[in-house]
Chains A and B, each alone.
Chain A
Amino acid sequence: MDWSYIIASVLSPSVLLYTLGGIILGMFIGAMPGLSATMGVAILLPLTFWLEPSCGLGMLLGIYNSAIYAGGISAILLGVPGTPASIASTFDGVKISKRGEPTLALWINTFYSVIGGLFGVLCLMVASFPIARFALRFGPPEYTMVAVFGLSMMVAVSGKSISKGVFVGFIGMAVAMVGIDPMNGIKRFTFDQFLLIDGFQFVPIMIGLFGIGEALKQFAESPVSHTKFVKKLDKKDKVVISDFVKESKDARKHQSWREIWKAKWAFLVASVISVIVGAIPGTGGDIASLVSWTQCRNFSKEKDLYGEGSEEALAVTCAANNACIGGAMTTMLTLGIPGDSVTAILIGALMMYNYTPGPLLFSEHPDMVIVLFGILIVCNIMILFTGNLGSKLFAQFTKLPRSWISVTIIIFSLVGSYAIQNSVFDVIVCLVAGLFGFLLARGDFPTGPIVLALILGEMVESNFIRTMMLPPGTYSTFFVRPISLVLIILTVLSLFGPSVIKRIKKARNK
């Protein structure tokens, strides 16, 4: 391993600058309710195409980490989660703010998000190399089943209806079928169109689903114009925001380390839970923080205060959001399976730089893996400083007119999708995906399975056909290999387990 290259890559001024840029952009995105980390990474991904891998990945990881962190800012000050991952932060954060201690709440958010994030990186560093070494034993049957398991997990946690999740996943698989068949080299559904030979580009679809789709949804569903909404918010939350701005110096007296550090055990439990939850494909910060909040309340000495403005509860949710990133990155880097929607887009980014996530990444490019670890650590350290200095500023961004934000998102989305290969066809694909994303949101369909299916569709197909080419060339291959069999059992359990448990409970209650 070339340590001088690693250190130079992580600490070079350009990487630090792009990472800082990503962190500032991520804070803006995270603090704005309605803009998610997924949307931020998707629409800004094309900007990184022309950068050095470490600079581009630094920027994207900066956006990812800081958007998840900054979601807590609006959750604490307004009671509106900036990103879905901060839903649980609203339970206690806004109550701490309303009792006149918004600076304390924001400091808890910054501090615990950072140490939660660092804990996640530590777990990633410890676990990823052994997992990757183990995954080197995988052959085509195991990879087929890993991908199928990934798809099944995404479906199992994707919402109320499993059939809707599976349906959306299969639409993603259908889209992934366009282009040259990975094994036989036959052109499928291309109709002799040159633009379709490589299939649909992943990035314009992502940008459309998460950028344009979200902008359209917000427009259609906003009951009153945003200006009115801001006025309404101002009336309701003026006290909180203005108090926060005025009293920031006074409130500093509340930031005693003892007070903040008393949540250390709850933080540890929440971080461990979140890393595990984050490693499960399809889950994300929202699930991790909700599970952590519930579990920590069960064993906490101050369980009655949970939901009533408990500092410990806020620390738990903030740590959980960012610790989850380490878990999601572990699955993504070692197995090539995205832990959540953002890591799905990061897979696209890594592939763009010719780094294919999976066990081979660890044996072929161990330097790059260490660089990624280093960038994640740098991101968290930078969040500690920028978050502490910039929370006031980012809190004010929530007042920007929604129409301006939406237009910026739309322009970035369209230009970004064009910039991938200088093709207006990608712009049209992005718009169509945006419309479809809007329909999915209106029909209460989850969007996540499409992302996963687009990435895993090709993996399932090529590995399945490779398996069938191996002797004996029958389906029994999947059942006679132990790892593959275990994965089949896990897939069946993840798909049918929840509904079976539900029925058993129902029957017992009767």
Chain B
Amino acid sequence: MAEIAVNIIGLLISAFLFIFSRDFSVSTRPGVPSAAFFPTIISAILLFLSILNLVKYLIAKKKGEVEDPAPIEKAKMLQFFGLVALLFLYAMLWYFHIGHFILNSAVIFTVVCWLLSDETEWWKSALFVLGVTIFIYCLFVMFLRVRLW
């Protein structure tokens, strides 16, 4: 599945490059390739390689020669999507300046920590995450003068 997904992403990038490079396909200097020259070549090669990889994969699958990685368990898949969603939620909270860095980090990463290891007691994770967050906050805000929030 991952192999097919990556190749489809390649196809999409190829189409994207091809469609939008027409906006700057006129060269500004005579005899010099335009700004669209490289994107167009990359688009063509990506298209070719995506199709080649897909065809190779499908043929190998038909012959039973594909060694797909072990499938992710269903329960783990849910946890995985939960983890990714939490990470994006964290970025969104950051983007829209909702809450505070330490508070958001402590809550979200405690859940992440609990998701990553179902046997660690949550309060241990929470304490650890809080410690790491405060350490990183101090490191970046106090020493490196980064405005984290």
Within 8 A of A (CB), among B33-75: 33-35, 37-39, 42-43, 45-46, 49-50, 52-53, 56, 69-70, 72
Assembly CA distance A428 to B88 (angstroms)? 8
A174-B42 in contact given A188-B24, A407-B112, A407-B129 (Cβ < 8 Å): yes
A442 at the interface (CB under 8 A from B): yes
A428-B49 in contact given A219-B116, A412-B136, A444-B69 (Cβ < 8 Å): no
Closest Cβ–Cβ distance, residue A218 to chain B (whole Å): 9
Other-chain residue from B6, B88, B140, B145 in contact with A415 (beta carbon distance below 8 A): B140
A 228-242 binary contact with B (CB < 8 Å = 1; else 0): 100000000000000
The prevalent SS among residues of A at the interface is helix
List B contacts of A7 (CB < 8 A).
Answer: none
Assembly CA distance A49 to B143 (angstroms)? 12
List A contacts of B87 (CB < 8 A).
Answer: 212, 410, 414, 431
Task: Identify the stretch in A84-92, A179-187, A313-321, A373-381 within 8 Å (CB) of chain B at 4 or more residues.
Answer: A179-187
A171 at the interface (CB under 8 A from B): yes
* Contact present for A167 and B53 (CB under 8 Å): yes
Assembly CA distance A402 to B2 (angstroms)? 24
* Contact present for B105 and A411 (CB under 8 Å): yes
- Interface bracket on A: 35 or more
* Contact present for A443 and B146 (CB under 8 Å): no
* Contact present for A410 and B91 (CB under 8 Å): no
* Contact present for A443 and B52 (CB under 8 Å): no
List B contacts of A174 (CB < 8 A).
Answer: 13-14, 17, 39, 42-43, 46
* Contact present for B125 and A404 (CB under 8 Å): yes
Chain B interfacial residues counted at CB < 8 A: 73
List B contacts of A406 (CB < 8 A).
Answer: 116
Closest Cβ–Cβ distance, residue B93 to chain A (whole Å): 10
Closest Cβ–Cβ distance, residue A162 to chain B (whole Å): 10
* Contact present for A435 and B84 (CB under 8 Å): yes
A486 at the interface (CB under 8 A from B): no
Other-chain residue from A163, A419, A444 in contact with B140 (beta carbon distance below 8 A): A419
Within 8 A of B (CB), among A431-455: 431, 435-436, 439-440, 442-445
List A contacts of B16 (CB < 8 A).
Answer: 189
Assembly CA distance A223 to B56 (angstroms)? 29
Assembly CA distance A464 to B33 (angstroms)? 9
A483 at the interface (CB under 8 A from B): no
A226 at the interface (CB under 8 A from B): yes
* Contact present for A173 and B42 (CB under 8 Å): yes
Closest Cβ–Cβ distance, residue B121 to chain A (whole Å): 10
List A contacts of B29 (CB < 8 A).
Answer: 184, 469
**Most chain A Cβ neighbours within 10 Å, of B21, B52, B53, B79:** B53
Within 8 A of B (CB), among A39-59: 47, 49-50
A298 at the interface (CB under 8 A from B): no
* Contact present for B128 and A404 (CB under 8 Å): yes
List A contacts of B133 (CB < 8 A).
Answer: 411
A291 at the interface (CB under 8 A from B): no
List A contacts of B56 (CB < 8 A).
Answer: 161, 163
Assembly CA distance A118 to B117 (angstroms)? 41
A10 at the interface (CB under 8 A from B): no
Assembly CA distance A264 to B37 (angstroms)? 54
Assembly CA distance A186 to B119 (angstroms)? 54
B 89-126 binary contact with A (CB < 8 Å = 1; else 0): 01100110000000001000100111011111000010
* Interface residues in chain A, defined as those with a beta carbon under 8 Å from any beta carbon in chain B: 47, 49-50, 161, 163-164, 166-167, 170-171, 173-174, 177, 181, 183-186, 188-189, 212, 216, 219-221, 223, 225-228, 401-404, 406-408, 410-412, 414-415, 418-419, 422, 424, 427-428, 431, 435-436, 439-440, 442-445, 460-461, 464-465, 468-469, 473
- Which 8 A/B pairs are nearest by Cβ-Cβ distance? A403-B117, A442-B2, A403-B116, A443-B3, A443-B2, A181-B35, A227-B119, A167-B49
| A and B contact pairs by CB, cutoff 8 A, 19 listed | A174-B39, A174-B42, A177-B17, A177-B38, A184-B35, A188-B20, A219-B79, A220-B72, A220-B80, A221-B69, A221-B72, A402-B117, A410-B112, A411-B129, A422-B146, A427-B91, A431-B88, A439-B2, A468-B31
A167-B50, A170-B42 known, 15 other contacts, Cβ within 8 Å: A50-B143, A161-B53, A161-B56, A171-B10, A174-B43, A183-B32, A184-B34, A403-B120, A407-B129, A411-B133, A412-B136, A422-B147, A424-B95, A442-B69, A468-B33
